[in-house]
Amino acid sequence: MKITFKKSDYDLIVQHSREALPNEACGLLGGVLEQDGTHAVRRVYTLTNTDASPYHFSMSPSEQFAAVKNIRENGWKLIGNFHSHPETPARPSDEDKRLAFDASLSYLILSLSTENPVLKAFRIENGNASETEILILN
Amino acid sequence: MSVALNGEKKDVGAEITIRNLLFKEKIKVHDYVTVQVNGEIISSKDYDSFVIKDGDEVEFLYFMGGGR
């Protein structure tokens, strides 16, 4: 499984995550599922981390519902989510894996622990995470 | 009886509680599912008592969260 998105969407994820510092940031990804299984992002939805914590995130349910309805109105599907790790690497924590209930989604993590942001994507199923390819389109 | 379930019209038979609808839809981990009926988020404490009626618009999604 691969995920693709525009450079402007990547920039939005980075910007939203930097603006949330020192707390974790989060959001949803709407897009289409291509014939070869690629998740093609069409829009990034930046959401509020209701935990307002550097160590945890929870998405606002009302914002989630609004995003999912907008995704549906555009003929897209919910294809993934993202959150940031201000101080730790871009890899799913045990809590990330425990709370990944939908194995069909791409789970993206942006680490801001180094000088340059590091974005990675994962598939998480039954508590097991496997890294997937990200392709950022110009 | 039909409802709009996550945007799709669905026949759910007779009036049904949220809990039973989640079972019917084979949704697991009910504690981590958020349900909205006609635009109102329903507390999980009420899943066994809240009855969904004909024509209701029902949305549910999994809680999304995590940590470092």
Domain residue extents for chain B: 2-62
Query: pTM for the full model?
Result: 0.92
Domain ranges for chain A:
2-137
CA dihedral A16, A99, A104, A81 (to 10 degrees): 0
Helix segments in chain A, DSSP class H: 7-20, 61-73, 94-98
Quick one: tokens of A85? Answer: 């790790």
Quick one: tokens of B24? Answer: 């019917």
Using a CB-CB distance cutoff of 8 angstroms, which residues of chain B are in contact with residue A85?
Answer: 68
Quick one: tokens of B61? Answer: 């999604």
- CB contact (8 A) between residue A59 and residue B64: yes
Strand partners, A38: none
> pLDDT tens for residues B6-24?
999 999 888 899 999 999 9
Q: What is the ipTM of this complex?
A: 0.86
Using a CB-CB distance cutoff of 8 angstroms, which residues of chain A are in contact with residue B63?
Answer: 58-59, 61, 99, 101
The pairing of beta strand A26-33 with beta strand A39-47: antiparallel
Residues 57-86 (A) with a CB less than 8 A from some CB of B: 57-59, 61-62, 64-65, 68-69, 72, 81, 83, 85
Among A86, A96, A120, A63, which Cα is nearest to A17's? A86
Architecture of domain B2-62: Roll (3.10)
Strand partners, A6: A137
Residue with tokens 């009302």: A62
A112 to chain B, minimum CA–CA distance in Å? 12
Among B1, B39, A55, which Cα is nearest to B21's? B1
Task: Output phi, psi for A77, to 5 deg.
Answer: -125, 155
- CB contact (8 A) between residue A64 and residue B66: no
- CB contact (8 A) between residue A83 and residue B41: no
| A122 neighbors A134 (Cβ within 8 angstroms) | no
User: Would you call A33 helix, strand, or coil by DSSP?
Assistant: strand
What are the pLDDT tens digits along chain A (138 aa)? 899 999 999 999 999 999 999 999 999 999 999 999 999 999 999 999 999 999 999 999 999 999 999 999 999 999 999 999 999 999 999 999 999 999 999 999 999 999 999 999 999 999 999 999 999 997
A56 inside 8 A of chain B by CB: yes
Residues A2-137: name the CATH superfamily: Cytidine Deaminase, domain 2 (3.40.140.10)
